[in-house]
């Protein structure tokens, strides 16, 4: 059952023999439908619905949220409007907030959009924003995030031709800090020992309570966090993958700003976080860009000519290298012998693509493009070292997880790849440079934006609220920074 439900009722007219209250008559029918006796109407909804009820000839569609032992009313419409039943899923990304407008009757996605998180004006990275929050900036950060979210509500509604006051449910996932800021809670404590969030488990709230511009009484589910470093976005990704329901052992790799991984099955879940670092993010490589139109996302180097060819997102003129292009380039350089296993260029191997840029040797993916204001795109050893550090962190983290439960990588039956890089990374290249474990390709399942997908699951099936709570409670967090073998594993994994 979806997070909100619509019930079409034919309410018998009042008479001397049936003179229950107007609302009580509706409640009787709802009780017959749902078996729920406790039906909660907000008073303002009773007041605003009376004209609708009285002009409806008894034909009403009631939208409500089934929550535990009660039914909470959301809206009342005249006639049979069960076909107009919508919910919105939102992923509170640190950089990009994503939203998906869902038809809760058919399960179809009507619109899927992303917007830069307006909080970036207070700091590109999370730490800057957390500092600002601790200086009294919580409400500004909350407003900025809310503006972004409500803009997405607006955009997805407009593109689907649906008024926002027909959205009767929302489901939201974000990391622990973003979730705090969304709720107007100061997340400062998250980053200081003992790393305690204000709250992990938030009850289902009302849209009006959190400032979401959909139906005011629409339920808003917020994914629970499992501590400061395991946010609701990861819980949501685990939910979307289904790994916590499977007999088989699976792995979820979420390689975003802050790499996270979860190993486990229906009986146990082990997670670690913070291992990836920003190496794969737009900001690090010299010619890096976010995965947007014009970003080089696929690279092939001819083993004979050593000349590169590439594709860009949406086939636009190349503007830079996104994470997947970077991983492809490194894998290809290594494969054709232009890179050794320590991440150094093999300059003895001759190609016109070697060029000196800012006193350093680079491999040029594009030529100087005269008559264009687009810069040349290239890759340096420093870029490669950054990626290898991320790779080493991922490998070390995975090894720690596997060793903790005493299993080998071959026992991992499925690898779900999520996060902004998981979507685009080529499994072949990722395996080639060791970022992904060496497993048969058919075990890799790209999840897309796992956080957003999990949020959609809750919209379409509210029993996933309990499942999310179960995951958050079950998951065990392994703190890598204090782990005795992590640093050794990390150091020995900085090679291709």
Record the tokens describing residue 431, joined without a space. 């395996």
* Calpha distance 423→452 (Å, rounded): 13
Q: Which stretch binds its own copies (CB under 8 A): 94-102, 188-196, 251-259, 328-336?
A: 188-196
State which of residues 94, 119, 168, 225 lies at the interface with its own copies (CB under 8 A). 225
State which of residues 87, 114, 227, 434 lies at the interface with its own copies (CB under 8 A). 227
Record the tokens describing residue 340, joined without a space. 């050794």
State which of residues 81, 160, 189, 404 lies at the interface with its own copies (CB under 8 A). 189
* Calpha distance 457→31 (Å, rounded): 26
Q: Is 350 in the site for its own copies (CB under 8 A)?
A: no
* Choice between 199 and 284, CB closer to its own copies: 199
* Calpha distance 272→391 (Å, rounded): 15
State which of residues 12, 20, 128, 245 lies at the interface with its own copies (CB under 8 A). 20
Q: Which stretch binds its own copies (CB under 8 A): 147-155, 221-229, 371-379, 453-461?
A: 221-229
Q: How far is the CB of 195 from its own copies (least distance, A)?
A: 6
Residue in 374, 285, 372 with CA at minimum distance from that of residue 321: 285
* Choice between 41 and 416, CB closer to its own copies: 41
Q: Is 399 in the site for its own copies (CB under 8 A)?
A: no
Q: Which stretch binds its own copies (CB under 8 A): 79-87, 196-204, 281-289, 426-434?
A: 196-204
Q: Is 29 in the site for its own copies (CB under 8 A)?
A: no
* Choice between 340 and 479, CB closer to its own copies: 479
Strand locations in 255-346 (E): 260-264, 269-273, 295-301, 308-312, 320-321
Residue bearing tokens 């009580």? 24
Q: How far is the CB of 230 from its own copies (least distance, A)?
A: 11
* Choice between 201 and 389, CB closer to its own copies: 201
Neighbours of 79 (CB within 10 A): 12
* Calpha distance 115→108 (Å, rounded): 21
Q: How far is the CB of 205 from its own copies (least distance, A)?
A: 6
Backbone dihedral angles phi then psi of residue 413, each to the nearest 5 degrees: -85, -30
Residues from 50 through 109 that contact its own copies (CB under 8 A): 50, 68-70
State which of residues 10, 24, 32, 410 lies at the interface with its own copies (CB under 8 A). 24
Sketch the per residue contact string, 462 through 481, with its own copies: x for CB under 8 A, - otherwise.
-----------------x--
Q: How far is the CB of 198 from its own copies (least distance, A)?
A: 5
Q: How far is the CB of 104 from its own copies (least distance, A)?
A: 24
> Do residues 90 and 113 make contact, with C-beta atoms less than 8 angstroms apart?
no
Q: Which stretch binds its own copies (CB under 8 A): 37-45, 239-247, 308-316, 323-331?
A: 37-45
Backbone dihedral angles phi then psi of residue 253, each to the nearest 5 degrees: -110, 115
Record the tokens describing residue 381, joined without a space. 């050893």
The widest CA-to-CA distance across the chain, in whole angstroms, is 99
State which of residues 12, 163, 203, 337 lies at the interface with its own copies (CB under 8 A). 203
Record the tokens describing residue 235, joined without a space. 């819980």
Q: Is 12 in the site for its own copies (CB under 8 A)?
A: no
Q: How far is the CB of 171 from its own copies (least distance, A)?
A: 17
Burial (CB count within 10 angstroms: exposed 0-12, middle 13-18, buried 19+), residue 290: middle
State which of residues 1, 12, 32, 38 lies at the interface with its own copies (CB under 8 A). 38
State which of residues 1, 10, 12, 21 lies at the interface with its own copies (CB under 8 A). 21
State which of residues 1, 47, 127, 405 lies at the interface with its own copies (CB under 8 A). 47
Q: Is 282 in the site for its own copies (CB under 8 A)?
A: no
Give the DSSP H or E segment for 145.
Answer: helix 138-160
DSSP 8-state assignment for residue 490: H
DSSP string for residues in 108-124: -EEEEEEEE-GGGGG-S
> Residues for the chain: how many in total?
496
* Calpha distance 204→386 (Å, rounded): 41
Residue in 333, 329, 352, 336 with CA at minimum distance from that of residue 344: 333
C-alpha triplet 294, 296, 300: angle, nearest 5°: 145
Q: Which stretch binds its own copies (CB under 8 A): 4-12, 21-29, 242-250, 451-459?
A: 21-29
Q: Is 213 in the site for its own copies (CB under 8 A)?
A: no
* Calpha distance 86→414 (Å, rounded): 32
Q: Is 365 in the site for its own copies (CB under 8 A)?
A: no
Q: Which stretch binds its own copies (CB under 8 A): 13-21, 118-126, 293-301, 311-319?
A: 13-21
Residue in 46, 108, 100 with CA at minimum distance from that of residue 73: 46
Give the DSSP H or E segment for 206.
Answer: strand 205-206
DSSP 8-state assignment for residue 104: T
Residues from 165 through 184 that contact its own copies (CB under 8 A): 183-184
State which of residues 7, 8, 23, 123 lies at the interface with its own copies (CB under 8 A). 23
Backbone dihedral angles phi then psi of residue 395, each to the nearest 5 degrees: -65, -45
* Choice between 68 and 163, CB closer to its own copies: 68
Contact residues: its own copies, CB under 8 A: 14-16, 18-24, 27, 38-43, 46-47, 50, 68-70, 183-186, 189, 193-203, 205, 209-210, 225, 227-228, 479
């Amino acid at each position: 059952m979806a997070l909100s439900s619509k019930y079409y009722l034919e309410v018998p007219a009042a008479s001397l023999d049936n003179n229950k209250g107007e609302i009580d008559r509706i409640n009787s029918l709802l009780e017959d439908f749902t078996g729920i006796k406790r039906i909660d109407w907000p008073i303002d909804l009773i007041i605003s619905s009376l004209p609708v009820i009285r002009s409806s000839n008894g034909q009403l569609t009631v939208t409500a949220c089934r929550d535990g032992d009660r039914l909470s009313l959301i809206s009342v419409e005249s006639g049979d409007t069960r076909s107009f039943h919508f919910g919105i899923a939102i992923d509170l990304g640190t950089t990009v907030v994503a939203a998906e407008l869902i038809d809760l009757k058919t399960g179809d996605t009507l619109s899927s959009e992303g917007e830069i998180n307006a909080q970036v004006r207070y700091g590109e990275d999370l730490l800057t924003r957390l500092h600002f929050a601790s200086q009294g900036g919580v409400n500004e950060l909350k407003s900025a995030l809310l503006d972004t979210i409500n803009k997405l509500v607006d955009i997805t509604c407009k593109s689907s031709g649906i008024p926002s006051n027909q959205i009767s449910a929302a489901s939201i996932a974000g990391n622990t800090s973003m979730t705090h800021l969304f709720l107007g809670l100061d997340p400062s404590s998250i980053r200081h020992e003992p790393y305690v969030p204000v709250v992990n488990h938030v009850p289902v709230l009302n849209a009006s309570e959190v400032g979401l511009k959909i139906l005011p009484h629409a339920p808003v589910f917020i994914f629970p966090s499992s501590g400061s470093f395991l946010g609701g976005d990861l819980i949501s990704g685990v939910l979307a993958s289904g790994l916590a329901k499977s007999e088989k052992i699976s792995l979820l790799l979420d390689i975003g700003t802050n790499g996270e991984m979860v190993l486990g099955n229906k009986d146990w879940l082990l997670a670690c976080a913070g291992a990836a670092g920003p190496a794969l993010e737009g900001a690090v490589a010299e010619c890096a860009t976010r995965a947007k139109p014009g970003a080089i996302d696929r690279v092939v180097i001819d083993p004979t000519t050593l000349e590169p060819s590439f594709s860009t997102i949406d086939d636009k003129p190349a503007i830079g290298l996104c994470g997947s292009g970077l991983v492809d380039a490194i894998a290809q350089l290594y494969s054709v012998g232009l890179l050794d296993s320590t991440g150094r260029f093999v300059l003895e191997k001759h190609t016109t693509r070697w060029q000196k840029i800012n006193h350093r040797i680079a491999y040029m993916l594009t030529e100087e493009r005269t008559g264009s204001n687009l810069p040349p795109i290239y890759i340096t050893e420093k870029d490669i070292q950054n990626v290898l550090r991320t790779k080493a962190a991922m490998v070390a983290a995975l090894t720690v997880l596997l060793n903790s439960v005493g299993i080998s990588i071959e026992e991992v039956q499925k690898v779900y790849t999520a996060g902004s890089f998981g979507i685009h990374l080529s499994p072949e290249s990722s395996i080639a440079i060791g970022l992904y474990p060496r497993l048969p390709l058919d075990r890799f399942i790209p999840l897309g934006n796992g956080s957003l997908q999990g949020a959609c699951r809750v919209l379409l099936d509210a029993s996933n609220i309990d499942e999310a709570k179960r995951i958050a409670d079950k998951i065990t967090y392994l703190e890598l920074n204090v782990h005795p073998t992590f640093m050794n594993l990390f150091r020995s994994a900085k090679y291709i």
